[in-house]
Structure 1
Amino acid sequence: MSTFTTQDNVEIYYKDWGSGPVVVFSHGWPLNADSWEAQMYHLTANGFRCIAHDRRGHGRSSQPWDGNDMDHYADDLAQLLDHLDVNDVTLFGFSTGGGEVARYIGRHGTARVKRAGLISAVPPLMVKTEANPGGLPVSVFDGIRQGLLADRSQLFIDIPSGPFFGYNRPDAKPSQGVINAWWLQGMLGGHKNTHDSIKAFSETDFTEDLKKFDVPTLIIHGDDDQIVPIDAAGRASAKLIKDSQLIVYEGAPHGITDTHKERLSADLLAFVQS
Structure 2
Amino acid sequence: MPNNLFQTADGTSINYIDSKVGKPIIFIHGWGSSLKDYSEPMKALSQRGFRCIALDLRGHGKSKASSGFTVAQAAHDVHELIEHLELKDVALVGWSMGGAVIFSYVEQFGTQYLKKLIIADISPRMKNDDSWDMGLYKGAFNAAMFKYQKSLLPDHFNVFYGDFMYQVVNRSGHYKTAPYYFRWLSRIFAFRRKAAPDVLWTYWNALYKADYRNVLSKVLVPTAVFYAEPGSLFSPKTAEYIAANIPGKAELVPFPDADHLFVVNQKEAFTQAVEHFLNT
Letter of the 1:3 counterpart = L
1:89–1:113: 8 Å Cα contact kept in structure 2? yes
**Cα distance in 2 between the residues matched to 1:176 and 1:67:** 34
Give SS of 1:194's match.
helix
**Cα distance in 2 between the residues matched to 1:92 and 1:52:** 9
Note the 1:100-111 alignment, pairs <5 A: 100-111=101-112
Note the 1:66-145 alignment, pairs <5 A: 66-121=67-122, 123-135=123-135, 136-145=141-150
Q: Which residue of 2 aligns with 1:212?
A: 218
Name which of 257, 261, 269 aligns with 2:263.
257
Q: Which residue of 1 aligns with 2:229?
A: 223
Mark the CA change 1:40 to 1:154 in structure 2 (over 3 Å): closer, same or farther.
Answer: farther
1:22–1:51: 8 Å Cα contact kept in structure 2? yes
Task: Name stretches of at least 5 consecutive residues in structure 2 with no aligned partner.
Answer: 136-140
Give SS of 1:183's match.
helix
2:96–2:121: 8 Å Cα contact kept in structure 1? yes
Q: Which residue of 1 aligns with 2:183?
A: 176
**Cα distance in 1 between the residues matched to 2:156 and 2:218:** 40
TM-score (structure 2 length as normaliser): 0.86
Q: Which residue of 2 aligns with 1:238?
A: 243
C-alpha distance after superposition, 1:8-38 (max 9, x if no partner): 1211111112511001011101111111222
Name which of 168, 171, 174 aligns with 1:163.
168
C-alpha distance after superposition, 1:101-124 (max 9, x if no partner): 111012101121100000112x31
Task: Name stretches of at least 5 consecutive residues in structure 1 with no aligned partner.
Answer: none
Identical counterparts, % of pairs: 23
TM-score (structure 1 length as normaliser): 0.88
Give SS of 1:211's match.
helix
Mark the CA change 1:55 to 1:168 in structure 2 (over 3 Å): closer, same or farther.
Answer: same
User: Relative CO higher for 1 or 2, CA cutoff 8 Å, sep ≥ 6?
Assistant: 1
1:57–1:63: 8 Å Cα contact kept in structure 2? yes
**Cα distance in 2 between the residues matched to 1:200 and 1:72:** 10
1:124–1:236: 8 Å Cα contact kept in structure 2? no
Q: Which residue of 1 aligns with 2:37?
A: 35
